[in-house]
Amino acid sequence: MSQPTLPIHMRRNYFDPVPELAELRAEQPISRVATPWGLDVWLVTRYEDVRAVFGEGARFDADAIGISAADINLSHSEIRRLLQPDFTARRVIQLKPRIEKHVAEHLDLLARSDKPADFIETVAKPLPLQLIFELLGLPVETQPEFYRLNSLRLTNTADPQAQADAAAQCRAQMMELVAENRRNPNDGMLGRMVVNHGAEIDDDTITKLVDLILLSGYESTTSMLGLGVLLLLRNPEQIPLVQDELTVNQAVEEMLRYLTPGHSARPRVATEDIVIGGTTIPKGDVVLCSLHAANRDPEFVSNPDNVDLSRTQNAHLTFGYGIRRCIGAPLAQVEMSTVYRETFRRFPDLRLAVPFDQVQFQSAMVTYSVTALPVTW
């Protein structure tokens, strides 16, 4: 399972980071590593050090490096101001009946499928994409093409020019949808953004904001749904904890800690010389935080390499920390809780249709995932 051609923080053995990452955390918790995009960066691996980097928003600038997310001409705080109203806990509660409806529909499709069925293609991939498209108010017929292009953009080993071309195609198509909403606003997030903020931000900025939401709004959830179901099938004694309304949310937090689909947080640039964990990061250097290493740090939780869905006090870093915490986290958590709960309620005999060692894992993407999950019941 180890992939030595990838940076150490992207290599995994099934659900686990490679042992070399734990060794690095213990011996050189902040060290220089090469990356697929040609930069040498400082890799931060300890839980407390990663939190410290997240907490230094002014001195570690995530907006200053071109290889980060969309090149939006707005500050992080301005982006959050524009997007936050659609991702509050209250808004997610309002969306919960719709989420439950779509989950039920996809599980109906699974129930009608020939056996074995691929849980990824039937549920884990289409469901989060459908929900983010519905939230934005985007035409359903554009989903397959956006998924194809975004998958290419998120592949760390893809040709840089191919990634740039895919990004340009996404932006061009999104620009057309923004222009259409200028003329006739839909009742989704895109339409509301045009109506409420269209006078203060231009079409290019709105396009990049919607593109950012689309790019980051489903891939990690898709990864977690596939990895999570597989993890539960490998630990059937813990399935009752996701079937129960009272414990499913707590169980999801442990799954997020243990699986950590995102290899790292967005790269950050040191805006001045700064000491983290006893190491001086020179001004202008790039810092990369290994989320999986931090979430498996024995200084953070006891027995970190054991999955325990009854674990409490689980302040994992999968969604970031502080003001940099992912604003889409509440939506993703409700999606995961609903899918895990309803899948194992409706399919109590769900099981893998192939030996575990035949399940294919994908490390080269921004998020770690399984490419297919054949199941039967």
Residues making up the chain, counted from first to last? 377
pLDDT of residue 149: 84
CA distance 48 to 51: 5
Return d(Cα 31, Cα 52) in angstroms, integer.
16
Helix axes 126-136, 89-112, angle to 10 degrees: 140
pLDDT tens-digit readout, 247-297: 999 999 999 999 999 999 889 999 999 999 999 999 999 999 999 999 999
Q: Give me the torsion for CA of 184, 188, 191, 197, rounded to 10°.
A: 160
pLDDT in tens, 148-165: 888 788 776 557 788 888
pTM of the full structure: 0.91
Question: How many whole angstroms from its chain centre is CA 309?
Answer: 20
User: In angstroms, what CA-CA distances link 22 with 18, 27, 49?
Assistant: 7, 9, 15
Phi-psi label, residue 70: left if phi above 0, alpha if psi -120 to 50, beta otherwise: beta
The DSSP bridge pattern shows strands 369-370 and 268-270 to be: unpaired
Average pLDDT, the chain: 90
**How do residues 294-337 score in pLDDT, each as one tens digit?**
999 999 999 999 999 999 889 999 999 987 788 889 999 999 99
Residues 6+ apart with CB under 8 A from 348: none
C-alpha–C-alpha distance, residues 28 and 25, integer Å: 6
State which CATH number among 2.40.160.40, 1.10.630.10, 1.10.10.10, 1.20.1730.10 fits the domain covering 8-376: 1.10.630.10
DSSP 62: T
Listed as ranges, residues in the chain with pLDDT below 50 are: 2, 66-70
- pLDDT value for 324: 77
Identify residue 349 by its one-letter amino acid code. D
Write down the pLDDT at residue 284: 94
DSSP letter for 123, please: I
pLDDT recorded at residue 78: 81
